[in-house]
Amino acid sequence: MKYDVIIIGGGLGGLECGYILSQAGRNVLILEQGMQPGGCIQSYRRHGLMFDTGFHYVGGLDEGQSLHAAFRFLGLLNLPWRRLDTNGFDRITIGEKDFAFAQGYGMFSKKLAEDFPRERAALSRYAKLLEESALQQFAALSPNAQESASISPQMETSAWQYLTENFHDPLLINVLSGTSLKMELRKESLPLFTFLHGNSSYIENSWRLKGDGSMIADTLIKNIQTQGGTIICNAKVEELEEKEGRLVHAICSNGERYEGTLFISDIHPDSTTRLIKQSSLVKRSFRNRLANLENTFGMFTVSLRIQPNRLRYFNWNQYIYRQPDVWDFYQDDTDINGVLISCKVPEDGNEYTQQVDILTPMSWERCKAWNNHTQVGKRDNNYKMLKEQMAEQCITLAERFLPGLRNISKYYTSTPLTWRDYTLTPGGSAYGIRKDFREPLMTVLSPCTPIPNLLLTGQNLMLHGVHGVTMTALFTCAKVLGNEYIWNKLKE
């Protein structure tokens, strides 16, 4: 059987492309190497509770906002979303001082201006810039948009330089950056484009699921199958076969060969080119370029199981930093100095939560000793001791906000090595390829490749996170169906 579209990788981007193209009447096959699709939005079960791996909250779901039309198109708006606290959906503790992000651009700047009255005008300008950036990518899908519309001058602007030139109070710069554990802050490279899009949709408004992140994947999977698409798990693609300048087969490790007209890769671009063993179009320079791109850091996660009726649910995300060094703290590989604390919505209507996640950056260097010689569940005591040490440090910092947390909980941990093993993400990277304002054309990738019937999608191209991957999937599918088709679907 020959498929219209074969998608390699069943992460969020692959599933969203599968949904869009199968709805458009294409015969779609998704090949997922793992036991279940979903990538970084999949969940796992421990003692009757479902824990998320990478999904914690999302922004921009109200009508007219940056993600509303896309989620409506994808059939995801009807999931049990719960809006976070409008007066403080993200709260930041730096040293002994507390701050809050309010939902809505006007309220966001107004609330912070209460703490930083001399920065009121600068905060207002920044909020306006956030608002403009939230809709920028959506506008680039318009049939009337120029091809260059997706290349923003903000990609060539330093985020750190923008902040330091527009705000005079160093503490405010730390506060504005304090919710950015959902990206990798690097003074020397982070584009303003990435910083704005990593914050803007959440400030529009922010939502959690009453349930686990796999509900997103399950909804897309069900709809793909209803529309005639096929998803095969435990199907590790080992080769993409090219003939006469086009891909013709995806060959799996079990010897199965799948013939396709169009191929879309949701895995890392470097991993994609490694699957193309022989090619007349993929030159060595292109392969080397992708192989030499740096990836963002990974995350260490402590997933806590809370004793019943001991911790009241809190409807916001709590960020805690020991010092006002938000842009640099993670470079210390000995002590944990910053964490994100996220609370799971009680599914039974109880006012008490049973689950809390603590996240902090973790470099691949700390995992390299176990890179090539160990397997999941079969790593040595040194690895276990490292995880226990990091978990204790995370809990100690979290206890500034939740006193006595260690006495009412048990925990499970994951490292970038865990992410690498389950999702095949190089280096266990949390946010894909590292973007660099100094080299935007090298680090911000197009869905197109040198092979005309091979496209890319996923967090490694332009934007990461649920919002970024969704927008990227729309751009990828627009290369197949046309901008006008996608635009009209979003406008319905």
Mean pLDDT (whole number) for 247-276: 97
| Residue recorded with tokens 């941990």 | 413
Say what the pLDDT of residue 114 is: 97
E strand intervals along 133-279: 206-209, 230-232, 237-243, 246-252, 257-265
**pLDDT band, very low/low/confident/very high, at 244 (cuts 50, 70, 90):** very high
Q: What's the whole-number average pLDDT of the chain? A: 93
Structure token pair of residue 311 = 């911790």
Backbone torsions φ then ψ of 490, nearest 5 degrees = -70, -25
Mean pLDDT (whole number) for 268-288: 95
CATH number for 100-204 (one of 1.10.3470, 1.10.10, 3.30.450, 1.10.405): it is: 1.10.405
Q: Domain spans of the chain?
A: 2-62+69-77+213-293+437-491, 100-204
Q: CB within 8 A of 25, min separation 6: which ones?
A: none
Question: What is the DSSP secondary structure assignment for residue 377, as one 8-state letter?
Answer: T
pTM for the full model? 0.95
Residue 374 pLDDT > 80:
no
Mean pLDDT (whole number) for 217-227: 97
Say what the pLDDT of residue 379 is: 84
Q: CB within 8 A of 101, min separation 6: which ones?
A: 88, 89, 90, 91, 92, 108, 111, 112, 179, 202, 203
Say what the pLDDT of residue 373 is: 63
Q: How far apart are CA 488 and CA 65, in angstroms?
A: 17
Q: Distances from the Cα of 250 to the Cαs of 47, 235, 276, in angstroms?
A: 38, 10, 10
Structure token pair of residue 77 = 């708006």
Nearest one of 492, 448, 473 to 141, comparing CA atoms: 473
Mean pLDDT (whole number) for 377-382: 82
Q: Distances from the Cα of 235 to the Cαs of 10, 251, 252, in angstroms?
A: 10, 9, 6
Mean pLDDT (whole number) for 175-186: 95
Tell me if 471 sits within 8 A of 463, measured CB to CB: yes
Say what the pLDDT of residue 149 is: 46
Tell me if 329 sits within 8 A of 321, measured CB to CB: yes
User: How many CA atoms lie less than 13 Å away from 359 in the CB half-sphere?
Assistant: 24
**pLDDT band, very low/low/confident/very high, at 164 (cuts 50, 70, 90):** very high
Mind giving me the DSSP string for 452-464? TTEEE-STTSS--
Question: What is the DSSP secondary structure assignment for residue 220, as one 8-state letter?
Answer: H
Q: How far is CA 316 from the centre of its chain?
A: 19
Q: Distances from the Cα of 74 to the Cαs of 12, 38, 53, 320, in angstroms?
A: 11, 15, 22, 35
Mean pLDDT (whole number) for 154-167: 97
Q: How far apart are CA 223 and CA 18, in angstroms?
A: 9
CATH number for 2-62+69-77+213-293+437-491 (one of 3.40.50.300, 3.50.50.60, 3.40.50.720, 3.30.1360.70): it is: 3.50.50.60
Say what the pLDDT of residue 147 is: 56
Q: What is the pLDDT of residues 446-464, one digit of tens each?
A: 999 999 999 999 999 998 9
Topology alike, domains 2-62+69-77+213-293+437-491 and 100-204: no
Q: What is the pLDDT of residues 18-66, one digit of tens each?
A: 999 999 999 999 999 999 998 888 888 888 888 888 889 999 999 989 8
Say what the pLDDT of residue 151 is: 62
Mind giving me the DSSP string for 154-168? GGGSBHHHHHHHH--
Q: Which residues pair with 343 in a beta bridge?
A: 356
Tell me if 335 sits within 8 A of 393, measured CB to CB: yes
Tell me if 428 sits within 8 A of 415, measured CB to CB: yes
Residue 375 pLDDT > 80:
no
Q: What is the pLDDT of residues 100-159, one digit of tens each?
A: 999 999 999 999 999 999 999 999 999 999 999 887 777 778 887 765 445 688 999 999
**pLDDT band, very low/low/confident/very high, at 325 (cuts 50, 70, 90):** very high
Q: What is the pLDDT of residues 398-452, one digit of tens each?
A: 999 999 999 998 999 999 998 888 877 888 999 999 999 999 999 999 999 999 9
Mean pLDDT (whole number) for 273-293: 94
